[in-house]
Amino acid sequence: MLRPVLRRSVRLLAALALAPGAPARALDEAVAHPREPDTASPNGSATGDGNGVLIDGIAAQVDGRIVLVSEVLRSVRPQEEAMRRAGAPDEEIAKLRADGLERLIEGRLVEKVVEDNNQKASDDEIKRTIEGIAKENGLTVEQLYASVVFHGLTVEEYKAQIKRDLERRNLVQGMLGSRVKVEDQEIEALYADRYGKHQDTGDSVHVRQILRAYGGETQRTQEVACSEVRLARDRVAGGEPFEKVAAQVSEAAPRDGGDIGWLPLASVAPWMSQALKGLPEGGVSDVLVLPFGCSLLQLVERRMLEPVSFEQAKEPLSREIWERKLEQEYRTWIEELRGRSYIERHGYFADAAKLRARAGDGD
């Protein structure tokens, strides 16, 4: 049931008013130019303000919570604007919005567990995290906030995003961390795979990558793919961690935050070597247009590669395996939580979710 304050302040139901399969632009028109209603229906159903203008709509219900259409559109707006400029079809826009809705649904589920377990992030935690992000990017906090605003978020929205990320991290580590066990044989297998018997030596680079393919089965044009990568670069420049953006956007190692590991410089492709040339540690390349896709690289670290003993590698490899297995535990847990929860996607978003599911089946 909607809280009375929501029933009074939100004009519902743009999403429900649309027939399944309605074009993406029809949804835009239904929620365009929002304004405060003069009156509201006491039961929260769709009403007009005398001019027949709908203020907002429900995209999904998650147990006793709702996700509004405006929240979904706001969460994907920068990427959607870039895709529209590149001429992306409505089907691609619908899948983008469906992805945005699923992240918000997941957020609602996690919020409830956080509240039930009293694991909310403190103001001091949020402050320290933002200071750390600014320092990592060579910025003052004021400069970071200016960059955030430039890229379309308010400072309060950015703090709320950091708060949600912290709470998710604390929840995952607190509830699920004890389930994860790393066996010695797992570390030994990763060491053998990573370093092998014949270890390369010489200059090496640790690289993360964001890749969006185009053409072929993707049905994505070069312009759309590169626009998405440019937007990803803007997000990183605005203070978001590269690995977080890569996990959401990249088609190269998304589960590892785009991490493609340590590479001997002598063995990397010329286009990659050229892109990394001159980058400082933590630096991000320009958007790269390749025959198979558009790419963005981050130089995490550069060093002289020397033979690495098992004892040297054991602790970082163990941590890598632990984090990977923890993420797998989280994904299993969140799917179980979804299964135990009442989730209903409405109208346009129910249809968009089907497109998203079909796209996932084809991966």
Per-residue model confidence as pLDDT tens digits over 137-172:
778 899 888 888 887 778 998 998 899 889 888 888
Q: State residue 61 phi and psi, 5-degree precision.
A: -115, 135
Q: What is the pLDDT of residues 319-336, one digit of tens each?
A: 999 988 998 999 999 999
pTM: 0.64
Asked whether residue 225 is assigned to any structural domain, the reply reads: yes
Taking residues 192-221, report their average pLDDT: 83
Among the ranges given (43-52, 175-184, 210-219), the one the predictor scored with the smallest mean pLDDT: 43-52
For residue 17, being part of any structural domain is answered with: no
Residue 13 contacts residue 46 (beta carbons within 8 Å)? yes
pLDDT band at 360 (very low <50, low <70, confident <90, very high): low
pLDDT band at 12 (very low <50, low <70, confident <90, very high): very low
Token readout for 72 is 């979904």
Asked if the structure places residue 150 within a domain, the reply is no
- Give the pLDDT score at 21: 37
Tell me whether residue 228 is in a domain: yes
CATH number of the domain encompassing residue 213 = 3.10.50.40
Overall average pLDDT of the 180-198 stretch = 87
Is residue 20's pLDDT more than 60?
A: no
Least trusted range by pLDDT, from 32-36, 213-217, 229-233, 345-349 = 32-36
How many structural domains are present in the chain? 1
Query: Is the residue at 300 inside a domain?
Result: yes
229 located within any domain: yes
Residue 234 falls inside a structural domain: yes
Model confidence at 299: pLDDT above 90 = yes
Better pLDDT: 210 or 114: 210
- Check residues 201 and 158 and name the one with the higher pLDDT: 158
Select the more confidently predicted residue: 350 or 201. Answer: 350
In a domain, 77, yes or no: no
For 241, the domain range is 200-306
Q: How far is Cα 204 from Cα 301, in angstroms, rounded to an integer?
A: 9
